[in-house]
Amino acid sequence: MAARSAAPAAGAQPDAPAGNWVDRSAPASWRPWLRLSRIDRPIGTWLLLLPCWWGIGLAMIAHGPGWRALWIAVACGIGAVVMRGAGCTWNDLTDRDIDAKVERTRIRPLPSGRVTARGAFVWLVVQCLIGFALLLTLGPAAIWLGVLSLIPVAIYPFAKRFTWWPQVFLGIAFNWGAMLAYAAHAGRLEAPAVILWLAGICWTLVYDTIYAHQDIEDDELIGVKSTARRFGDNSLRWLSGFAVASVAGIALAIVMAGPESALAWGLALGGLAGFAVHLAWQLRQFRPRDGELALRLFRSNRDAGLILALFLASAGLV
């Protein structure tokens, strides 16, 4: 007789990958805090980290490689975990009343009562302090950019209350690392990094609008705004435009960085081609009213961004 599948862990989130480490192996007392930081859903950490790695690769193309780039990549990896956790904690603190009304989010740690608001605030401070300690190792330009990044991070949870375009605010925050990591390697912020950041915002509009299609019905009931609601059945047309803008912006950033050899050009543009093909595949699969498909396509953006990151880094090394 086939073995019976294990019951879901108490408080397991419905949009977390099945069998994730938190639900499977983390001590029970840790799980609410790890879920508050979305450790059970690592895709958000990847989407915060990958623009950082893009920025490092682009800076290596423009200024040459170096051992410091390795530390920047590691610091960004750790920083993405803690700062994504801090951002999610802040988001859940501000949205706990809204989350209690949405089917997908009502069992999150705060609206379900597994974590108190006071405890969540302390957890937020701890994560921010770890992130700040990492930031101090990256140089003055990166430090100032890191401090400035707190502005869009603070605004984002409120954006869905006053604009149909909260995904723009998410994109501003999530792609900030492209400028920060570039500046950490180059010692200053330059135009290619700014263009890369803008291209990343367009990418975020693609993947987060796809993600927001899961919640359209609940968002309509409680009056929360999103690009998914704004675009509706015309989403594919809008997302195609943002995808083209993202690819064009990354291409411009690569040209401005100026690869020095034919091999570097080939690697950088090859990575961009892989990124573009992946976006085209997503849009071909996308169906505005299919929530389960939306979640799968959203998660697949890790692979799209990772393709570009690896090829940009390779171009910077040759």
Condensed to tens digits (0 to 9), the pLDDT of residues 229-276 reads 999 989 999 999 999 999 999 999 999 999 999 999 999 999 999 999
Report residue 134 as tokens. Answer: 């990492």
- Read off the pLDDT of each residue in 11-31 and give the average, rounded to a whole number: 82
Residue 12, pLDDT score: 75
Contact 63, 185 (CB under 8 A): yes
Report residue 45 as tokens. Answer: 């950490």
From 83, 204, 61, select the one nearest 138 (Cα to Cα): 83
Mean of pLDDT over the chain: 92
Check whether 10 has a pLDDT greater than 80: no
Residue 157, pLDDT score: 86
Tell me the domains of the chain and their CATH numbers.
40-317 (1.10.357.140)
- Read off the pLDDT of each residue in 20-46 and give the average, rounded to a whole number: 90
Residue 98 main-chain phi, psi, to 5 deg: -65, -45
Three-class SS state of 110: coil
Residue 291, pLDDT score: 86
Residue 98, pLDDT score: 79
Q: Based on the number of CB atoms within 10 Å of its own CB, is 28 exposed (0-12), middle (13-18) or buried (19 or more)?
A: exposed
User: Tens of pLDDT along 178-228?
Assistant: 999 999 999 999 999 999 999 999 999 999 999 999 888 878 878 889 999
User: Tens of pLDDT along 100-140?
Assistant: 877 777 888 898 889 999 999 999 999 999 999 999 999 99
One-letter amino acid at 221 equals L
Residue 2, pLDDT score: 38
One-letter amino acid at 207 equals Y
Tell how many helices (H) and how many strands (E) occur in the chain: 16, 0
**Residues in Cβ contact with 120 at an 8 Å cutoff, skipping those fewer than 6 apart:** 36, 89, 92, 93, 109, 110
Check whether 75 has a pLDDT greater than 50: yes
Sort residue 223 into left (φ over 0), alpha (ψ -120 to 50) or beta. left
Q: How far is CA 291 from the centre of its chain?
A: 19
How many residues are recorded in the chain? Answer: 318
Residue 3, pLDDT score: 40
pLDDT > 90: what percent of the chain?
A: 76
Sort residue 232 into left (φ over 0), alpha (ψ -120 to 50) or beta. left
Check whether 71 has a pLDDT greater than 80: yes
Contact 280, 309 (CB under 8 A): no
User: What single DSSP character describes residue 232?
Assistant: G
- Read off the pLDDT of each residue in 52-72 and give the average, rounded to a whole number: 96
From 267, 262, 76, 303, select the one nearest 182 (Cα to Cα): 76
**Residues in Cβ contact with 65 at an 8 Å cutoff, skipping those fewer than 6 apart:** 316, 317
- Read off the pLDDT of each residue in 1-16 and give the average, rounded to a whole number: 57
Quote the pTM value.
0.90
Give the chain's end-to-end CA distance (angstroms, integer). 56
Check whether 13 has a pLDDT greater than 80: no
**Residues in Cβ contact with 155 at an 8 Å cutoff, skipping those fewer than 6 apart:** 169
Q: How far is CA 71 from the centre of its chain?
A: 21
Residue 91, pLDDT score: 87
Q: How many CA atoms lie less than 13 Å away from 198 in the CB half-sphere?
A: 12
179 or 91, higher pLDDT? 179
Q: Can you tell me which residue has the tokens 């920025």?
A: 55
Contact 171, 207 (CB under 8 A): no
